[in-house]
Structure 1
Amino acid sequence: MSGILLLTRTEINRLRRNRRYLIFTTALPVVLYLLWSKAGKSAYGVDFAAYYMVAMATFGAFAGALNGNAIRISEERKVGWIRQLRLTPLPASGYVVAKILTAMATTLVSIVIVMLVGRFYGGVHLALWQWFVVAAIVWLGSTIFAALAVAIGYRYPPDQAQPITLFVYLVFTILGGVWFPLTGALGNIGKATPTYEAIKISTDVIGNVSVPGYLILGLFVWLAVFAALATLSVRSMAETV
């Protein structure tokens, strides 16, 4: 366990020096919130500023967990870094666990910053328990995509992992209502995505509306599916890394 935590700390320190990562996962969601949080009156039954706070927190966490990991894992597998780690006492699954823990730690920072901007710029007022619950829901959503990043990064080389990651990113952000709330046919399709589920659960909490059980179940189903894909990718590529 100490080896996993040491690798996690190393990964976090490396990401802290990655300006592109910090801009994409923290600065960009904040800038977009400042630009668009007052562009509407309401969405998903709550004030638009509250909805967009949740959407941008989800965007930052999603981007950090998926885009920030999938391609990096693929590149590290290609150059033999994972193979080198296997020569150490680190457990075979330690690399994967460290990547997920790193994503959880770094996305939490993005979530907190966006929510602070929502409170003091967007004028979002919530009870203390609502702040914690909303943050926890978005954070759970980020772990779903951290698992998906492992599945993509382990399975595909960098030249394939990058377009696949971009495609997945666009599908889940657009259909999930991250950029703007969808209605009609696209809105109905998007209701099956984990990004929509995380945003809708959060806005229901903000609006003091009873959260449908199928939305919560949906998040855990997505987590189980992506975790299974990650496990299959790691096992199938075990002899090639």
Structure 2
Amino acid sequence: MRRGVGGPRALEELIIGAKEDSFSGFFRLQMGKGRNRIEGALVFKDGEGMLANYRGPEDELEGSSSLPYLLELANDPATSIEARSFAFKSSTVDVDQLVRLFPEALVRDHELDPKVLYSSAIENVRATAEAPPAVDDEGLEIPLEDMDEEALAKGEELEKRITELEALRASLAADDEQLKDLQRENEELRNELKSIKDSSLSVVQYMQTRPKGKAAGTGLKIVDLMGTRERKFEEWKELKVAENLQAE
């Protein structure tokens, strides 16, 4: 394994050296750490470029589309470059197996020719510079004259469906609020019913636990009142008998 750093024409020198040495292995390029890390890889077999990959914080590219980005990465002196060979007997990596596993990362060898590589990089930069600014989809309107009847009908159908869905969502929200109100009212009624039951139970408990024979607020025993009334009745009867005897 060999290590180096990036710089002007670094990638070009790596490719030329790989061809001259019939290199089988890969070059790993890396810059930064954590979320800002950028890395890429170029895989060779017998000096011929086979696979390419680039991965940044926002983009991950495979194959030919990754080459301009790998070139830019290799040109940066802050980039570390690692070269690992598959030629050793201890190596368990098979390039053919990698090709089968990552067909989307395939590159054609002529694309790694320095002239082609730099031309692709220039075109990539130009395309990026000339790209129109992003426009919000909501601001896009298609003139009616450019739309056929089928498209208009479909658009109206979609608008109608959207309106129906919005109305349904609003209705569901209203039903949900109504359900919440009913639940609150039901809970209040339950609490009120429980309060009444508890109050009734308290009265029953009071009646059951107070001293027997007492009338509320008098402190007199009911049996004493009944006895007094009976005695008065008996006295009244005796008085009547005496009056009758005197009359005879």
Q: TM-score range by the shorter chain?
A: under 0.3
Larger radius of gyration: 2
Q: TM-score, normalised by structure 1?
A: 0.19
Pick 1 or 2: higher relative contact order, CA cutoff 8 A, min separation 6. Answer: 1
The structure with more strand, counted as a fraction of residues:
2
Higher helix fraction: Structure 1 or Structure 2?
1
